[in-house]
């Protein structure tokens, strides 16, 4: 196993400012099964970082540790240290609910609530104690998600009445409405058609001005289009024969795609395996 | 039959017309299922027709006033069912008041991972066993155990809140309130089992979405999961109401069969099914006809509730 910390050093030198999230020697377990091994990875502020790699390499698993959504899975356990603004996310004094209010998430399949479009957005704001003008927030969030013009006349209709691409943008609007600092996206376009995918990618470009974004994707073109930095994960069989994921290489996106340091990265991005 | 029996000169029509056992069975089977399906409908119509025809003298005699008078006098041949209709509806509503919060609460508990599944599965199994207890057992338990057990508590309520008309009489050993509580226990499994299924079938992505926005478990349950499962929960409540309305044995044993409307819940009362169960044996003439009139009313009540439940549950499935 290579020492991945060299890659995070590379990021520190090139990235402006302090990293928002630091991942220091993180391993993730489900019961006795080790899913992810020894990851070092820093996420710079207001950048888009893509996680790529074959299925089962632990990229989604790692993503879900950043907002402690893995807490919902019985037996899931994190070793090592993940810090957000220098605070250990897994400190016993940290309430996971507070973590998720600062680190929002967009899921693989659009999952609007079976409520009106308006309520889908108002829900998150309301539970986060938003006291301002709700109409204004709903409009602003829908505009940020490039959805306002399509839905402004039917805010009272169910979120489920929208098309898949619109639903996913509604979910992004819903996340934007709680004003997180970081947005995690777990294969946000895998259930969408190519046109909707491009719209979501445009949106990611806009959102990067205000948010730090980590996106898991199976689509390498997507990673090269949207990401400033790309982390390539791979899976390997361990001593016991069960497969675990690890970080192979993390660098600026153009380096990963044009001049990767590792041969397995080269093989993956050129489509020779995975 | 071997292939050789098909003569080469036989046409398609000839071979189709020839006797063939599988073909015969196939045809018989079709008609058998038609017969059985129609038979079920016929039985329902038959029951409805019998109720109507036997009840007709009472319907003709008392008309709609039957629903609003409090008299049950076989000597003078005067009948009115207000106490029974009132008792049936009020006891069912009180039973729901207890069973809904308890049942939905347990359903939420069983559908969340508050406890390891090693503990939850036996609890869910026990809940379903509650539905398997015969109602006469509930009645006996009510008479000999439950009512003596809660009577002191009801006494206290009467002492403190006796100024409220609902608690204005001294708790009787046969009464509406205790009956309703036993009914509540009887309908709990229906509410729990169906509400739990509805909650479990809420897509996990919705739960994750709620948590991902920083919802606490309480917020996720009350504002996302329960609303998403609401039609299923309402359907379970309707089915439970149908069961409470029609429950006979436990009600007949516990409610005291008092033939008048009493505002106090601690006084004896009556229900439709309890009155029928108590009187059908020696009834004849107009009395029997009046009992059938009552049965018709009960059937319409439960039919409406069940249709409502079907309607709500089918709407729930459309959302899925």
Name chain B contacts of A127, Cβ cutoff 8 Å.
213-216, 219, 223
**Alpha carbons B144 and B151: distance in angstroms, whole number:** 12
Name chain A contacts of B214, Cβ cutoff 8 Å.
97-98, 100-101, 104, 124, 127-128, 178
When pLDDT is averaged across residues A2-10 and rounded to a whole number, the result is 46
Which of B214, B223, B228 lies closest to A178 in CB terms? B214
Is the pLDDT at A49 greater than 70? The verdict is: yes
CB neighbourhood size of B94 (10 A): 20
What pLDDT does B40 receive? 95
pLDDT digits (tens, 9 = 90+) for A66-100: 999 988 888 889 999 999 999 999 999 999 999 99
Which of B209, B212, B214 lies closest to A128 in CB terms? B214
What pLDDT does B3 receive? 55
What pLDDT does A10 receive? 47
Radius of gyration of chain B (CA): 27
- pTM recorded for the entire structure: 0.79
Evaluate the CA torsion angle A134, A183, A212, A42 in order and state its sign: positive
Is the pLDDT at A173 greater than 70? The verdict is: yes
B319 touches chain A (CB under 8 A): yes
When pLDDT is averaged across residues B243-256 and rounded to a whole number, the result is 91
**Alpha carbons A75 and A210: distance in angstroms, whole number:** 35
Is the pLDDT at A236 greater than 90? The verdict is: no
Can you list the domains of chain B with their CATH numbers? 83-319 (1.10.3720.10)
Task: Name the closest residue on chain B to residue A183, using Cα atoms.
Answer: B212
Question: Residue B11 burial by CB count (10 A; 0-12/13-18/19+): exposed, middle or buried?
Answer: exposed
Is the pLDDT at A6 greater than 50? The verdict is: no
Helical (H) or strand (E) element with A231: strand A229-237
DSSP H helices in chain B: 12-17, 21-62, 82-111, 117-130, 135-141, 147-161, 176-200, 204-212, 217-220, 226-228, 230-246, 249-254, 272-279, 285-319
pLDDT digits (tens, 9 = 90+) for A244-260: 899 999 999 999 999 89
Question: Residue B138 burial by CB count (10 A; 0-12/13-18/19+): exposed, middle or buried?
Answer: buried
Task: Name the closest residue on chain B to residue A180, using Cα atoms.
Answer: B213
Task: Name the closest residue on chain B to residue A174, using Cα atoms.
Answer: B213
Class of the domain covering A5-111+181-269: alpha beta
Instruction: Please give, rounded to a whole number of angstroms, the shortest distance from the CA of A47 to a CA of chain B.
Output: 21
Torsion of the alpha carbons at A100, A102, A105 and A111, rounded to the nearest 10: 70
Is the pLDDT at B232 greater than 80? The verdict is: yes
Contact A127 B211 (CB under 8 A): no
Residue B221 C-alpha from the chain's centroid: 27
**Alpha carbons B276 and B259: distance in angstroms, whole number:** 12
Residues 6+ apart with CB under 8 A from B52: B296
Residue A178 C-alpha from the chain's centroid: 16
**Alpha carbons B34 and B40: distance in angstroms, whole number:** 10
Name chain B contacts of A115, Cβ cutoff 8 Å.
227
Which of B203, B205, B214 lies closest to A101 in CB terms? B214
Is the pLDDT at B88 greater than 60? The verdict is: yes
Contact A97 B205 (CB under 8 A): no
**Alpha carbons B70 and B152: distance in angstroms, whole number:** 31
Name chain B contacts of A69, Cβ cutoff 8 Å.
208, 211-212
The closest alpha carbon to B309, from B229, B230, B238, belongs to B238
């Amino acid at each position: 196993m290579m020492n991945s910390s060299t890659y995070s050093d590379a990021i520190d030198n090139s990235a402006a400012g302090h990293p928002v999230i630091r991942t220091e020697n993180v391993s993730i377990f489900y019961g006795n099964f080790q899913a992810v091994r020894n990851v070092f990875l820093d996420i710079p502020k207001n950048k888009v970082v893509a996680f790529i790699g074959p299925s089962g390499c632990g990229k989604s698993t790692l993503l879900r540790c950043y907002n402690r959504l893995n807490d919902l899975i019985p037996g899931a356990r994190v070793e090592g240290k993940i810090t957000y603004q220098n605070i250990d996310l897994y400190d016993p004094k940290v309430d996971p609910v507070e973590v998720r209010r600062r680190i929002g998430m967009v899921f693989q399949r659009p999952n609007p609530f079976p409520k009106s479009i308006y309520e889908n957005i108002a829900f998150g704001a309301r539970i986060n104690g938003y006291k301002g003008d709700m109409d204004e927030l709903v409009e602003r969030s829908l505009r940020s998600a490039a959805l306002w013009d399509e839905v402004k006349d039917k805010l009272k209709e169910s979120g489920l009445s929208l098309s898949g691409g619109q639903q996913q943008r509604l979910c992004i609007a819903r996340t934007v409405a709680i004003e997180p600092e970081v947005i995690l996206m777990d294969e946000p376009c895998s259930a969408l058609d190519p046109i909707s995918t491009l719209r979501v990618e445009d949106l990611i470009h806009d959102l990067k001005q205000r948010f730090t974004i980590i996106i898991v994707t199976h689509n390498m073109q997507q990673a090269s289009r949207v990401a400033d930095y790309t982390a390539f994960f791979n899976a390997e069989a361990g001593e016991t024969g069960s497969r675990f994921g690890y970080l192979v290489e993390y660098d600026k996106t153009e380096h990963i795609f044009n001049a990767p340091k590792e041969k397995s990265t080269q093989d993956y991005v050129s489509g020779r395996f995975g | 039959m071997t292939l050789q029996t098909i003569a080469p000169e036989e046409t398609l029509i000839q071979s189709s017309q020839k006797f063939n056992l599988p073909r015969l069975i196939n045809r018989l089977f079709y008609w058998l299922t038609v017969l059985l399906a129609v038979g079920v409908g016929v039985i329902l119509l038959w029951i409805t027709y019998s109720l109507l025809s036997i009840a007709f003298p009472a319907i003709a005699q008392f008309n709609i006033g039957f629903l609003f008078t409090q008299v049950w006098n076989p000597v003078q041949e005067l009948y009115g069912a207000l106490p029974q209709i009132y008792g049936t509806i009020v006891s069912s509503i009180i039973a729901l008041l207890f069973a809904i919060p308890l049942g939905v609460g347990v359903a939420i508990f069983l559908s969340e991972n508050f406890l390891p599944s090693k503990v939850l599965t036996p609890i869910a199994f026990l809940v379903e066993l509650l539905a398997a207890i015969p109602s006469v057992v509930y009645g006996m338990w009510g008479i000999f155990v439950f009512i003596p057990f809660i009577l002191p508590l009801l006494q206290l309520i009467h002492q403190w809140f006796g100024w409220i008309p609902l608690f204005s009489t001294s708790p009787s050993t046969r009464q509406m309130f205790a009956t309703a509580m036993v009914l509540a226990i009887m309908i709990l499994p229906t509410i729990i089992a169906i509400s739990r299924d509805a909650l479990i079938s809420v897509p996990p992505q919705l739960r994750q979405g709620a948590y991902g926005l920083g919802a606490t478990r309480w917020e996720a349950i009350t504002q996302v999961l329960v609303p998403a499962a609401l039609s299923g929960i309402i359907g379970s409540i309707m089915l439970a109401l149908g069961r409470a309305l029609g429950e006979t044995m436990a009600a007949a044993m516990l409610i005291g069969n008092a033939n008048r409307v009493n505002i106090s819940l601690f006084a004896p009362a009556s229900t439709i099914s309890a009155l029928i169960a108590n009187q059908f044996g020696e009834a004849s003439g107009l009395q029997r006809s009046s009992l059938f009139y009552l049965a018709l009313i009960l059937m319409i009540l439960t039919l409406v509730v069940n249709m409502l439940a079907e309607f709500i549950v089918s709407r729930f499935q459309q959302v899925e």
